[in-house]
A and B are shown apart, each in its own frame.
Chain A
């Protein structure tokens, strides 16, 4: 009986390792400053899915003034630049495995915050790109 329980525990430990999702992040801006600032989400050259637009749209949904575009389109009035690194994996479909977002002062590129979201294939099931972006943004700006 003990052995059966131990075996079940072992199987459970292995099974739940497929449901892993992790997040981390931090923002050094005071809340009011963060709310009133302007953000430019800089789309990188390999972003075929225009994740930059999704990030900007999810920031706007939080009441933040955010716009997406290429580096050439960035205007001086934006106070902060938002960069991101997206990693995709294949498991019956391409899914967003890891998203890392950094917010930097547009004037000198000094960091003011970061947010990160990683999810396994099982954890990512049923989630849209916007959901993953929201998870990373929650680490930066707090939950909606």
Chain B
């Protein structure tokens, strides 16, 4: 009788494990790559721009999550698993790589944040997180600031909100997340004052 009870309990546990795996097996270990997420920008020029991305997400600053944390992927029971950057490096780094590549495609010369340049571009990330189960929720709060070489602010644009997009398996979610970032960053750059500040003639260094 004891063996019967044990067998019944084991069978139940096995069935629960199978259901959980079938419904949530793809939730573990997801990674999103933001490095080549931006293909074009609504501004072009030829000057030098120092580019910086600053991650000020509260849960990263307080150590609750690592700097490579980019969101959550939920299993079949809604249980969350962390999603990280493809490189394992900071999200700010991957975002900066994307921005630098895009600026250079548009004719600019992008340099390190502390290098001298007529313009400095800083993206401050207060929130960037995706939360995926049946659909993908994107939560964002970012500010783009353009400074002159003396550190005087020339332009600022902000985007903040949350959206619900579709969702799929890892590669579709990774692509959707990258597209969402591209759209939000493009929106920041499309601001007229930002475009003017970036494309104004200035003294080259």
Contact = CB atoms under 8 A, between A and B. Distances in A.
B179 interface: yes
B101 interface: no
Contact of A13 (B19, B39, B163, B180): B19
A105 interface: yes
Contacts of B187: 28
Contact of B166 (A3, A105, A139): A139
Contacts of B183: 26, 28, 111, 113-114
Interface in B155-205: 163, 165-169, 171-172, 175-176, 179-180, 182-183, 186-187, 189-190
A28 B42 CA distance: 14
A125 interface: no
Interface residues on A, range: 20 to 34
Contact of A24 (B22, B41, B44, B168): B168
Given A110-B41, A111-B186, A139-B166, A3 B19 contact: no
B94 to A, nearest CB: 17
B16 to A, nearest CB: 7
Contact of A118 (B19, B172, B180): B172
A5 B165 CA distance: 34
A6 B8 CA distance: 11
Interface residues of B, number: 37
A26 B163 contact: yes
Given A6-B12, A109-B39, A13 B23 contact: yes
The CB with the most chain B CB atoms within 10 A, among A10, A28, A100, A139, is that of: A10
B15 A6 contact: yes
A22 B175 CA distance: 13
B168 A118 contact: yes
B22 A3 contact: no
Nearest to B135: A24
A14 interface: yes
Contact of B176 (A17, A24, A110): A24
The CB with the most chain B CB atoms within 10 A, among A14, A105, A110, is that of: A110
Given A108-B44, A108-B106, A110-B40, A116 B182 contact: no
A47 to B, nearest CB: 19
B166 A114 contact: no
Interface in A103-131: 104-105, 108-111, 113-114, 116, 118
B87 interface: no
B18 A14 contact: yes
A132 B159 CA distance: 32
Nearest to A109: B40
Contact of B12 (A3, A28, A98, A114): A3
B148 to A, nearest CB: 24
A100 B39 CA distance: 15
